[in-house]
Amino acid sequence: MLKINNLHASIGDKAILKGINLEVKPGEVHAIMGPNGSGKSTLASVIAGKEDYEVTEGSILLEEEDIEELAAEERAHKGVFLSFQYPVEIPGVSVTNFMKTAINSSRKAKGLEDMPAKDMLKMIREKSELLEIDRKFLSRSLNEGFSGGEKKRNEIFQMAMLEPKLAILDETDSGLDIDALRIVSNGVNKLKSKDNAVIVITHYQRLLDYIVPDFVHVLLNGKIVKSGTKELAHELEAKGYDWIKEEVGA
């Protein structure tokens, strides 16, 4: 599904990713953990195609195709989805119209006609129920005045609508109370299949009790310094990151 080889990326003169190697196979859930400033969000943004970052070395392959030169929207059309840590507020564009535009843009890129309005409404209804989203919420301006929990639920709602192959959840648990965490995790778990994959980026092990990872990676100073199974997350929760820093000599 996703294969990242020796990825280096920088913003301005500052190198942030310093040789990432990661392989994610269909049906897998990978967790990426690490302290603040280790490069977790940068990795997510670089995979999704944010132009602020420059890839200086290495490659990102999605289903064997190098996507490094593709624009963010082209990556989205190929099935990459990023759930934002801080979803952007866009006054004047309703959630529903935003979703219609996004879905029909992807369909157009694939040479398909617009989705019939009836099908769109049905899909919106089903997916909003999955995330326990109130219908009124859908006519509000995108993320404007949403609580932290509503924003994150809305992100996963978008993921449900767009049905990506590879979903990257960037700190989706931050700002969530326990009920919202349950709803969001439940949504992600229901969307998981043997054909898609999820990368969960998080500080805390808490989310991983709900979305159980097959692999856990520790990102430190722009590199994956340790990989393991879900037990590694428990260990990090109990002991922090210092022991890893010592272990790898960082």
Partner 1 sequence: MELKEKLVSSFMAFEDNVDVNSSIHDIRTEAIKTFEAEGFPTKKLEAWKYTSLNSVLKQDYSVFPKQDNEIEFKDVKKYFIHDIDAYKIIFIDGKYASHLSQTTHDGLDVCLMSAALTKPKYKVIIDNYFNKIANKDGLSSLNTAFAYEGAYINIPKNKVVDKPIQIIHFSTGNEAAVMLQPRNLIIVNENAHVQIIERHQSLTDNPVLTNSVTEIFTNKRAIVDYYKIQNDKQTASIIDNTFINQKQESLAKVHTFSFGGKLVRNNLEFYQNGERIDSTMKGITVIGDKQHVDHNTLVHHIEPNCESHQDYKGIFDDKSTGVFNGKVIVEKLAQKTNAFQANNNILVSDKASINTKPQLEIFADDVKCSHGCTIGQLDESAMFYLRSRGIPEKEAKALLMFAFSNTVLDSVKIPEIKNRITKIIANKLGVNIGFDL
CB of 100 to partner 1, least distance (A): 6
CB of 240 to partner 1, least distance (A): 31
Question: For partner 1, which is the closer residue by CB, 154 or 185?
Answer: 154
CB of 106 to partner 1, least distance (A): 4
Question: For partner 1, which is the closer residue by CB, 111 or 249?
Answer: 111
Contact footprint for partner 1 (CB under 8 A): 48-52, 71-73, 75-77, 80-82, 84, 87-88, 90-94, 97-98, 100-106, 109, 114, 141, 158, 162
Question: For partner 1, which is the closer residue by CB, 94 or 186?
Answer: 94
Backbone φ and ψ of 38, nearest 5°: -85, -15
Give the E-state strand segments of the chain in sequence order.
Answer: 2-11, 14-24, 29-33, 54-62, 65-66, 80-83, 90-94, 141-142, 166-170, 197-202, 215-220, 223-228
SS3 50: coil
Give the residue from 45, 51, 55 showing the smallest Cα distance to 10: 55
CB of 182 to partner 1, least distance (A): 25
Cα of first residue to Cα of last residue in the chain, in angstroms, is 31
Question: For partner 1, which is the closer residue by CB, 102 or 212?
Answer: 102
How many of the other CB atoms lie within 10 Å of CB of 6?
Answer: 12
